[in-house]
């Protein structure tokens, strides 16, 4: 209990020193700047620990290895040089000096020369990686204790050491491998090469696991847009991905079966009701032109229009295949229809005229929106932008508009506005509901806003 209280008090003190929101800043930074794709994140999950491990090995183990081996080699070389110096000082005769040089060359593998004078070259600038210079200088200072000069940069294969004696300078040339662990680059090359091979193999396996996920995503998007995929989807990949794929296939089969049952039911209902309405019309026609029958005839026409609206909303044109539609031709046709009704329509198009939609469904969507504007306004303007990813069609009018609090309600089936505008004051309140249903079946949506013309702005946004 005391330990728990101590931890709580320590946590409070830490929060008092460093606020919690400051501690969360690195996490937010990584969340904002890390790649979003699963493939790149998976590669980073593999590469980052490997790089951290290699850095740990290089800066901990290898650094100690270099220092230890280099120190041992420098210590042995310095001991040999100290022995040569002792021999030179013990036997100063020239003939004996030549014999010492021969022994150093044959037995110690050192190129030794004794030069007259007592001047040493000026100190050379220290190299960036100075582990050899520091260790070798420390060993010479500790064992020989005479003025010296070393060069580890001039010749990459040799290390030159000059030591000042009384009136002479002992010059020693040693191979770099005698003073420095020079084979470390081989270990680094093997470590880097093996890491690259492992990363390459990991990327191949990851690509094999990511492809089934991408295929499942593409199949789900195609099904959501009502499109038929070019190739049938088959679950592949890991067991979890296969389970997700099988679950998607089962879900798709259930939805398709439900849609088929609904279509069959609607076909039956449509046939039966239309048969009854046809009988009503026939009986009214046989009854003659009586004044009391004219109202019944209008009711039959309204009932038939309502029936067609219900069936169109239920079908949502989902059974239609995607095809190519010339947007410029279609907008010109809308302009002609509006001109015949006495409502001028202007349109502009940016981008490619060819769009890939369900032509009949898209035509019904735009006709519903334009009819809504035409019924309550005397001027309509359409601006279509066909970009790389999206098709945006903006319809503006100068009508009374729709109150902001009712702009989502008008998309509900059978909802009608009493004091503002609606698709059809004598209809069923399904026009905008059908339009949004068609837009969402394409993978897009419809939104309403205030128009610069003073009326309503309707924005249709579909994937290009």
The per-residue pLDDT string of the chain (464 residues; one tens digit each, 9 = 90 and over) reads: 555 565 556 556 555 555 545 445 555 655 566 666 677 777 777 778 877 877 777 777 666 777 788 888 888 888 888 888 888 888 777 677 888 888 888 888 888 888 887 788 887 776 655 666 778 888 888 888 888 888 877 656 788 888 888 888 888 888 887 777 665 666 677 777 877 888 888 788 878 778 888 888 888 877 776 667 767 888 887 788 888 888 888 888 888 788 777 777 776 777 777 778 777 777 777 776 666 676 677 777 777 776 776 666 566 554 567 788 999 999 999 998 888 888 889 999 998 899 988 888 888 889 889 988 888 888 999 999 998 889 999 999 988 888 888 888 888 876 766 544 444 444 556 778 888 888 888 888 999 999 998 889 999 999 87
Give the C-alpha separation, 289 to 287, whole Å. 7
Give the C-alpha separation, 110 to 56, whole Å. 37
Tokens 């800043």 belong to: 25
Helical residues (DSSP H) of 316-377, grouped into ranges: 327-340, 359-376
**Cβ count near 249 (within 10 Å):** 16
**Beta-carbon contacts of residue 19 (< 8 Å; ≥ 6 apart):** none
pLDDT of 383: 94
323-463 — its CATH code?
3.30.565.10
Alpha-carbon torsion, ordered 203, 205, 206, 209, to 10 deg: 160
pLDDT of 461: 92
pLDDT of 151: 82
Strand order in the sheet with 345-351: 345-351, 380-386, 390-397, 456-463, 445-450
Give the C-alpha separation, 370 to 423, whole Å. 10
Give the C-alpha separation, 361 to 436, whole Å. 11
What would the two tokens of residue 129 be? 């990686």
Q: Which of 343, 367, 334, 323 is nearest to 460 (CA)?
A: 367
- Output the CA–CA distances (angstroms, integers) from residue 244 to 205, 257, 379, 435, in the order listed: 19, 20, 51, 32
Q: Are 391 and 464 in contact (CB under 8 A)?
A: yes
Tokens 């790089």 belong to: 51
Give the C-alpha separation, 362 to 60, whole Å. 67
**Beta-carbon contacts of residue 403 (< 8 Å; ≥ 6 apart):** 420
Q: Are 449 and 459 in contact (CB under 8 A)?
A: yes
pLDDT of 253: 86
CATH architecture assigned to 62-182: 2-Layer Sandwich (3.30)
pTM for this prediction: 0.51
- Output the CA–CA distances (angstroms, integers) from residue 264 to 250, 261, 276, in the order listed: 21, 5, 19
238-315 — its CATH code?
1.10.287.130
pLDDT of 457: 93
pLDDT of 446: 93
Give the C-alpha separation, 454 to 272, whole Å. 46
What would the two tokens of residue 335 be? 């302009």
pLDDT of 87: 85
Residue 324, phi then psi, degrees to nearest 5:
-95, 140
């Amino acid at each position: 209990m005391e330990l728990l209280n101590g931890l709580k008090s320590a946590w409070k003190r830490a929060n008092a020193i460093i606020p919690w929101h400051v501690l969360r800043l690195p996490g937010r930074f990584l969340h904002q700047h890390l790649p979003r794709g699963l493939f790149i994140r998976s590669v980073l999950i593999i590469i980052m620990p490997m790089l951290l491990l290699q850095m740990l090995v290089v800066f901990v183990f290898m650094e100690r290895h270099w220092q230890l081996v280099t120190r041992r080699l420098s210590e042995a070389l310095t001991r040999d040089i100290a022995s040569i110096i002792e021999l030179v000082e013990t036997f100063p005769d020239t003939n004996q000096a030549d014999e010492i040089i021969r022994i150093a060359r044959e037995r110690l593998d050192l190129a030794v020369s004794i030069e007259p004078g007592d001047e040493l070259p000026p100190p050379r600038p220290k190299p960036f990686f100075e582990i050899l210079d520091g260790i070798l200088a420390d060993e010479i200072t500790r064992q020989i204790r005479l003025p010296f000069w070393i060069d580890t940069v001039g010749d990459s294969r040799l290390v030159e050491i000059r030591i000042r004696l009384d009136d002479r300078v002992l010059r020693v040339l040693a191979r770099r491998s005698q003073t420095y662990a020079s084979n470390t680059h081989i270990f680094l090359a093997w470590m880097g090469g093996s890491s690259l091979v492992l990363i390459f193999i990991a990327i191949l396996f990851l690509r094999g696991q990511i492809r089934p996920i991408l295929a499942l995503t593409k199949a789900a998007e195609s099904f959501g847009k009502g499109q038929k995929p070019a190739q049938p989807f088959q679950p592949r990949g890991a067991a979890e991905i296969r389970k997700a794929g099988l679950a998607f296939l089962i879900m798709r089969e259930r939805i398709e079966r439900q849609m088929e049952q609904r279509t069959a039911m609607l076909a039956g209902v449509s046939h039966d009701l239309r048969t009854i309405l046809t009988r009503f019309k026939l009986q009214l026609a046989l009854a003659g032109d009586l004044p009391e029958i004219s109202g019944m005839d209008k009711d039959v026409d309204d009932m038939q229009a309502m029936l067609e609206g219900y069936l169109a909303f239920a079908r949502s044109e989902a059974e239609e295949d995607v095809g190519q539609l010339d947007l410029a031709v279609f907008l010109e046709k809308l302009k002609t229809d509006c001109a015949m009704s006495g409502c001028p329509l202007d349109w502009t198009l940016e981008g490619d005229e060819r769009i890939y939609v369900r032509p009949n469904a898209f035509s019904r969507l735009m006709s519903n929106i334009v009819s809504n504007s035409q019924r309550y306004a005397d001027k309509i303007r359409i601006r279509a932008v066909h970009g790389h990813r999206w098709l945006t069609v903006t319809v503006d009018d100068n009508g009374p508009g729709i109150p902001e609090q009712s702009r989502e309600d008008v998309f509900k089936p059978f909802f009608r506005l009493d004091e503002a505008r609606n698709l059809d004051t004598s209809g069923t309140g399904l026009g905008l509901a059908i339009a949004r249903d068609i837009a969402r079946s394409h993978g897009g949506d419809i939104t309403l806003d205030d128009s610069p013309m003073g009326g309503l702005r309707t924005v249709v946004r579909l994937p290009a």
